[in-house]
Amino acid sequence: MDQTTIKNIVIVGGGTSGWMTAAMLAKLFNKQLDITLIESDVIGTIGVGEATIPPLQIFNSVLGIKESDFINATQATYKLGIEFEHWYQQGDSYMHAFGNIGRDLGFTSFHHYWLCAQAAHNADSDTQYNPADFWRYSINYQAAKHNKFQPIANIPNAQMSGITHAYHFDASLYASMLQQYCSQRGVTRVEGKIDKTALDNNGNIASVHLQNGQTIVGDLFIDCSGFAALLIEQALGVDYENWQHWLPCDSAYAVPCESTSPMLPYTKATAHDAGWQWRIPLQHRTGNGIVYSSQYMSDIQAKQLLLNNLDGKPLAEPRKINFTTGRRVKQWHKNCIAIGLSSGFLEPLESTSLHLVQSAIIRLTKLFPHHGIQSQQIDEFNRQSQTEFEQIRDFIILHYHLNTKQTAPDNTGLWQYCRDMNIPDSLRQKIDLFRQTACVFRHQDELFTEAAWIQVMLGQGIQPADFHPLAAAVEPAALQDYFGNIVKVINTTVANMPEHSAFIRAL
Ligand SMILES: Cc1cc2nc3c(=O)[nH]c(=O)nc-3n(C[C@H](O)[C@H](O)[C@H](O)COP(=O)(O)OP(=O)(O)OC[C@H]3O[C@@H](n4cnc5c(N)ncnc54)[C@H](O)[C@@H]3O)c2cc1C
């Protein structure tokens, strides 16, 4: 057991993860810690990471950053969900809309009543089961598709939750905003390139050495050096668990283009022959990128495909990024904690990387080793990180695995591979349970909600064989009233909301 007081914190890296970590530690520990952040202007940052999920609101609010200040400083727009085009099959589209869908009755989730009504409808008429109908009961989906936005917590007089939102924002502007925030709270910024790391006799990091001759010592080192993983991998040799056999995409091109009107309040993820393309609408531009597997598509093809599918004029040359999907086997080792890309990477399909940064920071503050690092703290931190990475991994694999796409002439392409691959048992169990019973159970503090899993499983073509028997206990006429009322209150609420761009202009 190490009894050293932990006071000097050295954060290596000034990308979004480095500045988010510095900002939260400076805010919460309020001068109890000496925080130094080292970044290299020559190396720069990855420069992507513009779409988020709802918990970022909590992060900003703990920092005391007002939403309107954040929106204005980072050219942000609101995000109500992600639309997946051509994922299940060509021409098909569905949304993972944030928030709840419909209204649960007692212990029984809304979708069981919806499935019950669909089954009754099919038995009574020639109409087919229509999964698209499910999103009529999502206020986020309806607002997104009508290009409306207003942050209402609840729908008045309806016992239904209102809008759940996240943001699209310019990540480099966010990092600058946090840098300013940190300088007002005593964080020391050091510019320079680290070329050496010194370890002590116990294998802990003692100091980092910069090319300009400076040496910086610390008690606790946070590795936010991005894919370089300068401390956790290069200095401490912690392994990386490769998940490419489940998520084969390994390359991306990113390019901004002129923004187009209307400014959509949702992200678009459009599947193509060997991966997918993102569209992220910001106030001043649209962020675009193509994610693909180099085994199934060449760089030249990918770059051209991206440029051919922009909504506006490109504003820069497309930039290539290589990555390996997976996770650091130990995110915390010795006196070093990896946060951000150094700790692992899951492709941006569900915009989860910055969330993983946020939750690692929160985990660190909860398990902070004030009076020396205890092995129990390390083990608990690593256990939670592993669970979180694996749960998100499963959710992303779900989108790829459940496809019926026929792209390559001989069906040997990415989509066929993903359809045929062995998936993790944890995901197989979830899919099978939903297919048979329409039930979804979340484990521990799982990030994605029941509604999120249901939307992606329905959207990716699962038609559950059954629904909960309690759904059939409601009289059909009462069920129709219940559905009619939900649709009515959602439509009325959305009709009264301002346009997304008008709401932002008024901030
Ligand atoms: C294609 C792609 C798309 C993405 N899209 C999203 C998205 O939509 N949403 C989302 O949440 N996330 C997304 N991400 C992830 C997101 O970009 C990162 O999680 C986020 O930017 C944090 O990166 P980072 O700070 O860990 O690393 P970086 O931004 O790479 O920062 C690394 C820092 O370390 C410094 N550094 C490195 N080596 C040295 C050295 N030797 N000496 C000194 N300093 C050094 C660099 O200068 C830099 O400051 C995406 C990632 C990729 C690859």
For residue 117, the SS3 value is helix
Helix 171-183 and helix 16-29: axis angle, to 10°? Answer: 30
Q: Identify each DSSP E strand in 40-157 by its residue range.
A: 77-79, 81-85, 93-97, 154-155
Q: What is the pLDDT of residue 409?
A: 67
Distance between CA atoms of 210 and 215, rounded to whole angstroms? 6
Q: Which tens digit of pLDDT belongs to each residue from 105-133?
A: 888 999 999 999 988 776 666 666 788 89
Which residue has 């749960």 as its token pair?
391
Q: Which atom of ligand 1 is nearest to the CA of 340?
A: 26
The yes-or-no verdict on residue 3 having pLDDT over 90 is no
Mutation choice for ligand 1 from 48, 196, 288, 331, CB with most ligand atoms inside 8 A: 48
Interacting residues of 199 by C-beta distance below 8 A, sequence separation 6+ = 205, 206, 235, 236
Q: Are 444 and 389 in contact (CB under 8 A)?
A: no
Nearest alpha carbon to residue 174 among 344, 29, 59: 59
Q: What percentage of the chain carries pLDDT values higher than 90?
A: 88
- Domain 8-78+169-243+324-392 grouped into CATH 3.40.190.10: no
Mean pLDDT across the chain, nearest whole number? 94
Which residue has 């946090």 as its token pair?
178
Residue 287: CB within 6 Å of ligand 1?
A: no
> Which stretch of 182-191, 231-240, 444-453 has the lowest confidence by average pLDDT?
444-453
Q: Which tens digit of pLDDT belongs to each residue from 277-330?
A: 999 999 999 999 999 999 999 999 999 999 999 999 999 999 999 999 999 999
Within 218-261, residue ranges assigned H as helices are: none
The yes-or-no verdict on residue 2 having pLDDT over 60 is no
Please state the φ and ψ torsions of residue 161, each to the nearest 5 degrees.
-70, 155
CA distances from 126 to 129, 134, 291, 467 (A): 10, 19, 41, 21
Q: Which tens digit of pLDDT belongs to each residue from 347-406?
A: 999 999 999 999 999 999 999 998 999 999 999 999 999 999 999 999 999 999 999 988
Distance between CA atoms of 108 and 470, rounded to whole angstroms? 7
User: Percent helix, strand and coil across the chain, each rounded to 5?
Assistant: 40, 20, 40
Q: Which of 66, 79, 330, 488 is catalytic?
A: 79
Q: What is the pLDDT of residue 158?
A: 83
Interacting residues of 505 by C-beta distance below 8 A, sequence separation 6+ = none
Q: What is the pLDDT of residue 5?
A: 86
Element (H, E) at 172: helix 171-183
CB atoms within 10 A of CB 459: 24
Residue 367: CB within 6 Å of ligand 1?
A: no
Distance between CA atoms of 78 and 414, rounded to whole angstroms? 32
Among protein residues, the one whose CA lies closest to atom 7 of ligand 1? 49
Domain limits, the chain: 8-78+169-243+324-392, 81-164+438-500, 251-322
Q: Which atom of ligand 1 is nearest to the CA of 195?
A: 41
**Encoded amino acid at 75, one letter:** Q
The yes-or-no verdict on residue 260 having pLDDT over 90 is no
CA of 17 to the centre of ligand 1 (A): 7
Q: Is 79 annotated as catalytic?
A: yes
Q: Which tens digit of pLDDT belongs to each residue from 183-205?
A: 999 999 999 999 999 999 999 99
Element (H, E) at 254: strand 251-257
Tally DSSP H helices, then E strands, for the chain: 14, 23
Nearest alpha carbon to residue 344 among 320, 325, 322, 321: 325
Nearest alpha carbon to residue 39 among 55, 59, 61, 17: 17
Nearest alpha carbon to residue 160 among 182, 178, 142, 186: 142
Longest CA–CA separation in the chain, Å: 80
Interacting residues of 53 by C-beta distance below 8 A, sequence separation 6+ = 98, 166, 350, 351, 352, 355, 447
What sign for the dihedral angle of Cα 134, 139, 141, 142?
positive
Residue 338: CB within 6 Å of ligand 1?
A: no
Mutation choice for ligand 1 from 225, 282, 339, 357, CB with most ligand atoms inside 8 A: 225
Distance between CA atoms of 73 and 70, rounded to whole angstroms? 5
Among protein residues, the one whose CA lies closest to atom 25 of ligand 1? 15
